[in-house]
Structure 1
Amino acid sequence: MNQEILQIGNPILRKIALEVTDIHNQKIQTLIDNLLTLTKQRHGVGIAAPQIGESCRVIIISSHPNIRYPDAPFMPPMAMINPRIVSHSEELIMGMEGCLSVENRRGNVPRYKDIMVEYVDRDGNSERKEYNDFIARIIQHELDHLNGILFVDHIQEE
């Protein structure tokens, strides 16, 4: 698979992605497989469907130490379908972010330290889980992609 990752300036990255209504549709399952593969190939810790031109609410979270994020915690890769934050901590933490759709740019971005997320997994199970710190940052970054927002919109100088 040699899937192109859309770059900043592509209008698809600024659109609000559509809800997934048929999780078991083969197109959605193949999309998830492709996103998982692409995340690993590009040493990413997450990716959203709009980044490859698919306007649907699917993200991959795949935190692991790699050349882009050597201190990332390990968690098994997972798909979140129609994710949404239902609550969050008051505390914001600054952290350096980059993006596969914004090559050669990094910046400090404030994110909630703790978030509660509702989503559906690729098997159709509804989930509600709390995530913290770096994992919470990844989820917030990828959720932004579903809403037409890029991390550069949040960069703050320290």
Structure 2
Amino acid sequence: MTLLKIASIGAPVLRQRAREVSPQELASPELQTFVDDLVETMHDASGAGLAAIQVHRAIRIVAIHVQDNPRYPYKPNIPLTILVNPVLTPLSEERFDNYEGCLSVPDLRGVVSRWAELRVQALDRHGAPIDTVVRGITAGTYQHEVDHLDGVLFVDRVTDPTTLTTWKEFARHHEAGFRERVEAVVKRWGS
């Protein structure tokens, strides 16, 4: 496997809308190898997710995986999930505030309002349909990654710029309070 270069904020690719992937392209050995490399890159960077566009491929594929992640110790675990051509549909008007960071926006976090419950429709890496519901903090992770496919970074969704903080200052001043809010979201939504 190959570790891929992660684009940083300011790179034009991060502001593109990614194109859909055809079933034939998805089945190709080249694209299957790319998916493996995307997952390996996400794991190497300790990310909770990584969109293809973040590694300079403007295609509608994201990888999501949270397994006792050291960058996000408060996030519920999410099994390795590959979403191809994902569509997210909010299932209620309920939202929650999520302190987010991003591998493409190094050393910065900020509060983003996210839908609390979503229907996720996509293909898996082998072209099989996915139709599931995600809730709570997990729903926030899905929204963050799928936003990348439309050229949207979490900083675009921060409604109060005074919440922007470095990771060090987040840990020092905000993490304890945020963990309490996360626990309430997890208790309410189960994830």
TM over 0.5: yes
Pairwise CA distance, 1:17: 0.1
Q: Which of the residues 55, 59, 62 maps onto 2:58?
A: 55
Q: Is the 8 A contact 1:107 1:156 kept in 2?
A: no
Q: Does 1:107 align with 2:91?
A: no
Pairwise CA distance, 1:127: 1.3
Pairwise CA distance, 1:149: 0.4
Q: Is the 8 A contact 1:63 1:135 kept in 2?
A: no
| Structure 1 or 2: more helix by fraction | 2
Q: Deviations over 1:53-82 (max 9, x none)?
A: 001000011122222101111122110000
CA distance in 1, matches of 2:115, 2:74: 19
CA distance in 2, matches of 1:31, 1:115: 27
Pairwise CA distance, 1:27: 2.1
The corresponding residue for 1:154 is: 157
Correspondences of 1:1-158 after superposition (within 5 Å): 1-21=2-22, 22=24, 23-157=26-160
For these two proteins, the number of residue pairs brought into alignment is 158
Higher RCO, 1 vs 2 (CA within 8 Å, ≥6 residues apart): 1
Pairwise CA distance, 1:87: 3.6
Q: Unaligned 5+ residue runs, structure 1?
A: none
TM-score by length of 2: 0.79
Q: Calculate percent identity across the aligned residue pairs.
A: 36
TM-score by length of 1: 0.95
**Which structure: larger Rg?**
2
CA distance in 1, matches of 2:79, 2:140: 16
RMSD (Å) for aligned C-alpha atoms? 1.2
CA distance in 2, matches of 1:116, 1:77: 18
